Structure 1
Amino acid sequence: MTAMFKSPSRRAVLRGGAAAAVTVLAAPRVLRAQPAAVKLGLLQPMSGFLAQAGDLARIGAEYAVKEINDAGGIKALGGAPVELIVGDSRSNAEAGAQATEELNSAGVVAIGGGFASGISLTATQAAARYDLPFLVDSAVADSITQRDLANTFRFGPNFTMATEVALANLVKLNDAAGKPAKTVALVHEDGLFGSGLAQIMQDKLPGLGFEIVEVISHPTPARDMSNVALRLRSLQPDLIIPSHYYNEFVLLARTLQQQRVKPKGIYAIFGGAASSYQFVSEYPEAAEGVFDCNHWGDPSNPTDAALKKEVEAQGKFFAYNAPINYSLVKVLAEAVEKAGAADRAAVIEQLASAEFASGVMPYGMTKFDASGQNASALPLNTQVQNGEIKVIYPADYAQAEPKFPV
């Protein structure tokens, strides 16, 4: 049976005040019930080693909720306000499933977030038991939307989509510079995210004219990258392509700097720190020149700049988690608006069939395919230049020309 959150009826809300209304016969106004809030769940790692990402996601989601409520709430429901309920995955898959159960019990009409691929896999599976719509934000494992779960949708690009863009841009970058990069070393975390991406790189790079000289795997969290850096120094690859979460990326970049490992470029794909202003601000020398192909907001959209300002006002460093979760909440609220009810089945139907504005993400109109994947999702290529994260590809969003070799 589908678990479903139902707002209290207007009659139920008004009944308690009926006697009082009778005694004020001359009152010129009719008291109206405040529409019940539409509860949206946000599942993020609010504690544990991924907590920084969860905190930024919360800021973005709360910014969207305030914007929606200030504009009059869900108009199809009489101006019902949106209420955000945050669940903590505690940076691990099992806790993500538990937090999903708690959000279901809290009566949310839909859940957004997940962040990491492993967490998103277990959380969406848990949500499927209750026909609870789940819109994944930034987790990229292809398998998330390949399990025939009608409740599961992904807002951002998956592995395959992102690597196609990243590799096409890498070839363009290398060709424009006269093909200085011929050899590549892959460094990745050993979870679902890093291992999956490394496998795609091994399949694709040789056909594009790049020789893979080494594939180096490491655990997450990692405490030391000295051996990795020493191995890379001995191999001297032209390019290093890393795939990590934030802490491991920072650790690797700093260790490479300390060991004087200087490739022609560090070209990250979903590179954790490479799209975070904390890395850029705290370790400017290690960050300078690093490329990334990642989730990133449209830099020409004024709301993207406003989100960055809001993040910094709260004493945080801006990264993609804020804009993508801002945009994800806007999509979920629009799905409720189109459904005309805080009804899970109706929201799933709208997500499966309608088009949605994409907030500040560079997706045009969001449209989910039969698997639940947003077919319009597009990662952007960035490079750290003079202490700023600049979009370099595609041309429609570019803020600067790439600098390569670094």
Structure 2
Amino acid sequence: MKKLTNSVSRRTVLKVGGVSAMVLAAPGLSRAQAPTVKIGLLQPMTGGFAGDGDLARIGAEYAIKEINDAGGIKSLGGAKLELLIGDSRSNAEAGAQATEQLKADGAAIVVGGFASGISMTATQAAARYELPFIIDCAVSDALMTRNLKNVFRFNPSFSMAADVALKNLVTINDASGKAAKTVAIVHEDGLLGSGLAKLMQARLPALGFEVVEAISHPTPARDMSNVVLRLRSLQPDLIIPSHYFNEFVLFARTLQQQRVKPKGGIYALFGGAASSYRFVKEFPEAAEGVMDVNHWGDPKNPTNDKLMQAVQAAGKFYAYNAPINYSVVKVAAQALEFAKSAESGAIIEALQKNEFDSGVMPYGKSKFDATGQNVNALPLNTQVQGGQIKVIYPDQFAQAKPKFPANG
């Protein structure tokens, strides 16, 4: 793996299959020419989100190898895929710069983005060149309201995930005899967390929950003591948080240290650490019983287990970034097959008009609507039980029954 540096951004170029780099401009090139199509992966390889970017890279590399080993893009004469990794450096401005560099380096399509703020600027940059861009896991509803024909979102939107989260919460709470009546919301102050707070405050009361307070904090946050002291005074039955990894860990550990244990526990929506084995293994007591509604691979798909093994073999802790980026690369490859071209317009049209296998994500067939949103994207509801992250809803993917109230 060779690292390159230039005035715009740093990125890593991964060559797959031992073939020379070459961008296709027309379909039907013969196998003898050994063409290569470049797929850009935009991820935070450095900065505060670097752990997420590293897992995404592992998943994407796994998919690239599978595709190339199976004969490449057959409609393009067996073209091999080459992965270009653009480093967003965990901030929005650098995400736009890295996207422009991926375009300059010949990427036919870009996938990834990770965070909503980064994805917002990166997709805007891609739109200037009509460069196809498939978002992996950024959830802000605002991403798909800009009428950008080159932008597609593979994962569920925030509103889609919130519908699932609230439906499951009502089911879980009703089964417990309505153990949770009061809720406190704790959220980061960016697009992700602010969206959560606004939506939950609007919808929870109609479902029989009293929202006692919504508490905002910056990202990054260095201290959660004041937040937890406020929760101690409020004594909610349930906490609904939405943070990125570091803040989620800090929050959960501070709750544990201050012995603040709401009887319903934590029910997260896109909890940054709640669906990460790093959190579970490093802080097992703080993690036990935590529920999350988040991106998660189908636990009954054998390839999901292989991805987990690949992550562990690399000395990393498994989280959703690996399966979702494996899957989004698979969708990009299918789009190239349908397009029979690496020309931007043909790829965009293929993404608009076709259905796609969803890799290891529990989406069935992925289909993008007129806004670019995958209408079949589905988050899974998980809970940490006995040091393992178990799917508890929906039933067809479930590995365990929910334990609620967690601290009852």
Structure 1 and Structure 2 fold alike (TM over 0.5)? yes
SS of 2:310's equivalent in the other structure is: helix
1:295 and 1:198 map into 2 onto residues whose CA distance is: 19
Q: Deviations over 1:91-122 (max 9, x none)?
A: 00000000000000011110000000000000
1:47 and 1:198 map into 2 onto residues whose CA distance is: 29
Residues 200 and 75 (structure 1 numbering): CA distance in 2 closer, same or farther, change over 3 Å?
Answer: same
SS of 2:273's equivalent in the other structure is: helix
Q: Which residue of 2 aligns with 1:42?
A: 41
Asked if 1:393 is matched to 2:390, the reply is no
Residues 121 and 9 (structure 1 numbering): CA distance in 2 closer, same or farther, change over 3 Å?
Answer: closer
Q: Which residue of 2 aligns with 1:164?
A: 163
Q: Which residue of 1 aligns with 2:125?
A: 126
SS of 2:274's equivalent in the other structure is: helix
Displacement after TM superposition at 1:146 (Å) = 0.7
Displacement after TM superposition at 1:6 (Å) = 4.5
1:379 and 1:182 map into 2 onto residues whose CA distance is: 25
SS of 1:241's equivalent in the other structure is: strand
Q: Which residue of 2 aligns with 1:7?
A: 24
1:373 and 1:7 map into 2 onto residues whose CA distance is: 27
Q: Which residue of 1 aligns with 2:246?
A: 247
Q: Which residue of 2 aligns with 1:206?
A: 205
Displacement after TM superposition at 1:234 (Å) = 1.0
Displacement after TM superposition at 1:225 (Å) = 0.3
Displacement after TM superposition at 1:7 (Å) = 3.0
Contact 1:50 1:91 in 2 (8 A): yes
Structure 2 residue runs of 5 or longer lacking an equivalent are 1-21
Asked if 1:178 is matched to 2:177, the reply is yes
Q: Deviations over 1:230-268 (max 9, x none)?
A: 111111100000000000000000000000000122000
Displacement after TM superposition at 1:36 (Å) = 1.5
Displacement after TM superposition at 1:398 (Å) = 0.3
SS of 1:275's equivalent in the other structure is: coil
SS of 1:342's equivalent in the other structure is: coil
Contact 1:8 1:36 in 2 (8 A): no
Q: Which residue of 1 aligns with 2:192?
A: 193
Contact 1:323 1:360 in 2 (8 A): yes
Q: Deviations over 1:46-102 (max 9, x none)?
A: 000000000000000000000000000000111110000000000000000000000
SS of 1:273's equivalent in the other structure is: coil
Amino acid at match of 2:281: S
Paired residue total? 383
Displacement after TM superposition at 1:342 (Å) = 1.1
Q: Which residue of 2 aligns with 1:28?
A: none
The ranges of structure 1 where at least 4 consecutive aligned residues each deviate by more than 4 angstroms after the TM superposition are none
Percent identical pairs in the alignment equals: 71
1:137-148 maps to which residues of 2 (within 5 A)?
137-148=136-147
Q: Which residue of 1 aligns with 2:348?
A: 348
Contact 1:334 1:356 in 2 (8 A): yes
2:25 and 2:203 map into 1 onto residues whose CA distance is: 55
Displacement after TM superposition at 1:404 (Å) = 0.3
Q: Which residue of 1 aligns with 2:153?
A: 154
1:204 and 1:162 map into 2 onto residues whose CA distance is: 13
Contact 1:35 1:77 in 2 (8 A): no
2:193 and 2:323 map into 1 onto residues whose CA distance is: 23
2:185 and 2:203 map into 1 onto residues whose CA distance is: 12
1:248-327 maps to which residues of 2 (within 5 A)?
248-264=247-263, 265-327=265-327
Contact 1:288 1:386 in 2 (8 A): yes
1:301 and 1:33 map into 2 onto residues whose CA distance is: 35
Contact 2:24 2:341 in 1 (8 A): no
2:104 and 2:144 map into 1 onto residues whose CA distance is: 24
1:235 and 1:36 map into 2 onto residues whose CA distance is: 62
1:72 and 1:223 map into 2 onto residues whose CA distance is: 49
1:219 and 1:358 map into 2 onto residues whose CA distance is: 34
SS of 1:203's equivalent in the other structure is: helix
Displacement after TM superposition at 1:197 (Å) = 1.2
Q: Which residue of 2 aligns with 1:73?
A: 72
Amino acid at match of 1:35: A
2:118 and 2:81 map into 1 onto residues whose CA distance is: 25
Amino acid at match of 1:283: F
Contact 2:24 2:343 in 1 (8 A): no
Instruction: Report the TM-score when normalising by structure 1.
Output: 0.93
1:354-365 maps to which residues of 2 (within 5 A)?
354-365=354-365
1:219-238 maps to which residues of 2 (within 5 A)?
219-238=218-237
SS of 1:46's equivalent in the other structure is: coil
1:246 and 1:108 map into 2 onto residues whose CA distance is: 30
2:371 and 2:196 map into 1 onto residues whose CA distance is: 20
2:270 and 2:53 map into 1 onto residues whose CA distance is: 16
Structure 1 residue runs of 5 or longer lacking an equivalent are 15-31
Q: Deviations over 1:314-362 (max 9, x none)?
A: 0000000000000000000000011011111100001011000000000
SS of 1:166's equivalent in the other structure is: helix
Residues 258 and 380 (structure 1 numbering): CA distance in 2 closer, same or farther, change over 3 Å?
Answer: same
Displacement after TM superposition at 1:198 (Å) = 1.0
Contact 2:271 2:294 in 1 (8 A): yes
1:97 and 1:33 map into 2 onto residues whose CA distance is: 36
Rg larger for: 1
Instruction: Report the TM-score when normalising by structure 2.
Output: 0.92
2:79 and 2:132 map into 1 onto residues whose CA distance is: 19
Contact 1:93 1:119 in 2 (8 A): yes
Q: Deviations over 1:349-377 (max 9, x none)?
A: 01011000000000000000110000000
